[in-house]
Amino acid sequence: MRGILSDHNIEGHFNALVAIWEADAWRSVWKELGLGVESFRSLGISPDVSDAVLWRLCQDREIVLFTANRNNDGPDSLEATIVASNVETSLPVLTLANPIRFSQDRQYANEVAEAALDYLLAMDRYRGTGRLFL
Protein backbone atom coordinates (compact mmCIF):
# COMPACT_ATOMS: atom_id res chain seq x y z
CA MET A 1 0.00 0.00 0.00
CA ARG A 2 1.51 3.26 -1.07
CA GLY A 3 -1.22 5.85 -0.87
CA ILE A 4 -4.74 6.87 0.04
CA LEU A 5 -7.34 8.63 -2.12
CA SER A 6 -10.59 10.31 -1.23
CA ASP A 7 -13.58 9.77 -3.46
CA HIS A 8 -14.51 13.07 -5.04
CA ASN A 9 -17.77 13.52 -3.13
CA ILE A 10 -16.19 13.49 0.36
CA GLU A 11 -12.96 15.39 -0.15
CA GLY A 12 -13.89 17.83 2.64
CA HIS A 13 -14.39 14.96 5.08
CA PHE A 14 -11.10 13.45 4.01
CA ASN A 15 -9.25 16.75 4.46
CA ALA A 16 -10.65 16.93 8.01
CA LEU A 17 -9.51 13.35 8.61
CA VAL A 18 -5.98 14.12 7.42
CA ALA A 19 -5.94 17.21 9.65
CA ILE A 20 -6.76 14.99 12.64
CA TRP A 21 -3.96 12.60 11.66
CA GLU A 22 -1.49 15.46 11.31
CA ALA A 23 -2.35 16.91 14.74
CA ASP A 24 -0.08 16.18 17.70
CA ALA A 25 -2.00 13.12 18.94
CA TRP A 26 -1.60 11.07 15.73
CA ARG A 27 1.20 12.77 13.78
CA SER A 28 3.88 10.15 14.50
CA VAL A 29 1.57 7.26 13.57
CA TRP A 30 0.44 8.99 10.38
CA LYS A 31 4.04 9.74 9.37
CA GLU A 32 5.06 6.15 10.16
CA LEU A 33 2.58 4.92 7.57
CA GLY A 34 4.32 7.01 4.92
CA LEU A 35 1.25 7.11 2.70
CA GLY A 36 0.98 9.56 -0.13
CA VAL A 37 -2.25 11.51 -0.16
CA GLU A 38 -3.44 11.21 -3.72
CA SER A 39 -6.09 13.19 -5.56
CA PHE A 40 -7.98 12.78 -8.78
CA ARG A 41 -5.71 15.46 -10.24
CA SER A 42 -2.46 13.80 -9.09
CA LEU A 43 -3.63 10.52 -10.63
CA GLY A 44 -4.73 12.23 -13.83
CA ILE A 45 -8.33 11.07 -13.66
CA SER A 46 -11.61 12.88 -14.05
CA PRO A 47 -13.92 13.29 -11.03
CA ASP A 48 -16.66 11.61 -13.06
CA VAL A 49 -14.67 8.42 -13.66
CA SER A 50 -16.76 5.29 -13.12
CA ASP A 51 -16.55 3.54 -9.78
CA ALA A 52 -15.26 0.42 -11.53
CA VAL A 53 -12.37 2.24 -13.20
CA LEU A 54 -11.53 4.06 -9.95
CA TRP A 55 -11.50 0.85 -7.88
CA ARG A 56 -9.28 -0.93 -10.41
CA LEU A 57 -6.88 2.01 -10.61
CA CYS A 58 -6.59 2.04 -6.82
CA GLN A 59 -5.92 -1.69 -6.78
CA ASP A 60 -3.31 -1.45 -9.54
CA ARG A 61 -1.48 1.39 -7.82
CA GLU A 62 -1.84 0.06 -4.25
CA ILE A 63 -3.95 3.02 -3.14
CA VAL A 64 -6.61 2.73 -0.45
CA LEU A 65 -9.88 4.35 -1.51
CA PHE A 66 -11.78 6.36 1.11
CA THR A 67 -15.45 6.85 0.28
CA ALA A 68 -18.98 7.12 1.57
CA ASN A 69 -20.32 5.40 -1.54
CA ARG A 70 -22.27 2.22 -0.88
CA ASN A 71 -24.51 2.11 -3.92
CA ASN A 72 -25.10 -0.86 -6.14
CA ASP A 73 -26.67 1.02 -9.03
CA GLY A 74 -25.44 -1.13 -11.86
CA PRO A 75 -22.47 -3.16 -13.06
CA ASP A 76 -20.01 -0.26 -12.79
CA SER A 77 -21.08 0.75 -9.27
CA LEU A 78 -18.55 0.44 -6.49
CA GLU A 79 -20.42 -2.31 -4.68
CA ALA A 80 -20.94 -4.34 -7.86
CA THR A 81 -17.26 -3.91 -8.74
CA ILE A 82 -16.14 -5.10 -5.31
CA VAL A 83 -18.45 -8.12 -5.48
CA ALA A 84 -17.31 -9.03 -9.01
CA SER A 85 -13.60 -8.24 -8.80
CA ASN A 86 -12.44 -8.51 -5.20
CA VAL A 87 -9.80 -11.16 -4.55
CA GLU A 88 -7.84 -12.09 -1.44
CA THR A 89 -5.06 -9.60 -2.25
CA SER A 90 -7.37 -6.64 -2.98
CA LEU A 91 -7.14 -3.60 -0.77
CA PRO A 92 -10.40 -2.90 1.02
CA VAL A 93 -12.29 0.34 0.57
CA LEU A 94 -12.52 2.48 3.71
CA THR A 95 -16.15 3.58 3.87
CA LEU A 96 -17.32 6.45 6.03
CA ALA A 97 -20.55 5.15 7.53
CA ASN A 98 -22.03 8.45 8.64
CA PRO A 99 -20.67 11.53 6.81
CA ILE A 100 -23.20 13.89 8.43
CA ARG A 101 -22.28 12.83 11.96
CA PHE A 102 -18.59 13.02 11.04
CA SER A 103 -19.11 16.68 10.08
CA GLN A 104 -21.11 17.55 13.19
CA ASP A 105 -19.56 15.49 16.00
CA ARG A 106 -15.88 16.10 16.79
CA GLN A 107 -15.65 13.04 19.08
CA TYR A 108 -17.07 10.81 16.36
CA ALA A 109 -14.63 12.29 13.82
CA ASN A 110 -11.75 11.48 16.16
CA GLU A 111 -13.02 7.93 16.63
CA VAL A 112 -13.23 7.52 12.85
CA ALA A 113 -9.68 8.84 12.49
CA GLU A 114 -8.38 6.38 15.08
CA ALA A 115 -10.25 3.43 13.53
CA ALA A 116 -8.95 4.33 10.08
CA LEU A 117 -5.36 4.45 11.36
CA ASP A 118 -5.83 1.07 13.04
CA TYR A 119 -6.99 -0.40 9.73
CA LEU A 120 -4.19 1.27 7.76
CA LEU A 121 -1.53 0.02 10.17
CA ALA A 122 -2.73 -3.56 9.72
CA MET A 123 -3.98 -3.31 6.13
CA ASP A 124 -2.44 -6.60 5.00
CA ARG A 125 -4.71 -8.43 7.46
CA TYR A 126 -7.76 -6.89 5.81
CA ARG A 127 -6.94 -7.55 2.18
CA GLY A 128 -9.78 -9.26 0.41
CA THR A 129 -12.47 -8.04 2.81
CA GLY A 130 -14.01 -5.66 0.28
CA ARG A 131 -14.97 -2.87 2.65
CA LEU A 132 -14.11 -1.63 6.08
CA PHE A 133 -16.72 0.65 7.61
CA LEU A 134 -15.67 3.59 9.74
How does pLDDT run across 5-31, given as a tens digit for each residue? Answer: 999 999 999 999 999 999 999 999 999
Number of domains in the chain: 1
Domain limits at 58? 3-133
Q: Are 63 and 4 in contact (CB under 8 A)?
A: yes
pLDDT digits (tens, 9 = 90+) for 55-78: 999 999 999 999 997 777 788 899
Mean pLDDT, the chain, rounded, equals 95
Task: Please give the pLDDT value at position 73.
Answer: 77
Which of the 8 DSSP states describes residue 90? P
Q: Are 99 and 88 in contact (CB under 8 A)?
A: no
* Span 106-118, average pLDDT: 98
